[in-house]
Amino acid sequence: MSIEKNPHDWVFKNVFSKFDNVSSFLSIFLPDLYKLIVPKSMKILNPKKQTKEYRKYFLDVGVECKIKTKNHSHKKAHLWLKKI
């Protein structure tokens, strides 16, 4: 993907392909969700590899992580961010 053809997608995918950027974004814009994520369990997923399951969505960022539950256990979760 080149910046000339689609600058929004290029910037978004380059910025959000880095763990620190995704973590910061979640902590600032989705703080309640971020508090549920088990520290250091986040793994950035390649949205292109996930499109088979989520074909109808235009995925920008995929994150696999563990979420804290009410009974203090952890559940595996996938978070998908998409532009609307």
Q: Is the pTM of this model over 0.85?
A: no
pLDDT score of 12:
78
Task: Give the mean pLDDT of 65-69.
Answer: 94
**In 1-84, which residue ranges form alpha helices assigned H by DSSP?**
7-15, 19-29, 31-36, 47-50
CA-based angle 44:7:78, to the nearest 5?
Answer: 20
Residues 60, 16 contacting (CB under 8 angstroms): yes
Greatest Cα pair distance, the chain, in angstroms, is 49
N- to C-terminal Cα separation, the chain: 20
- What pLDDT, in 10s, does the model give residues 1-59? 566 777 877 787 788 888 899 999 999 999 999 999 998 899 988 766 555 555 555 56
Residue 1 within any structural domain of the chain? no
List all residues 6 or more positions away from 73 whose beta carbon is below 8 Å from its beta carbon. none
pLDDT score of 84:
63
| pLDDT band, residue 61 (cuts 50/70/90) | confident
Residue 36 within any structural domain of the chain? yes
Number of domains in the chain: 1
Residue 2 within any structural domain of the chain? no
Parent domain of 53: 7-82
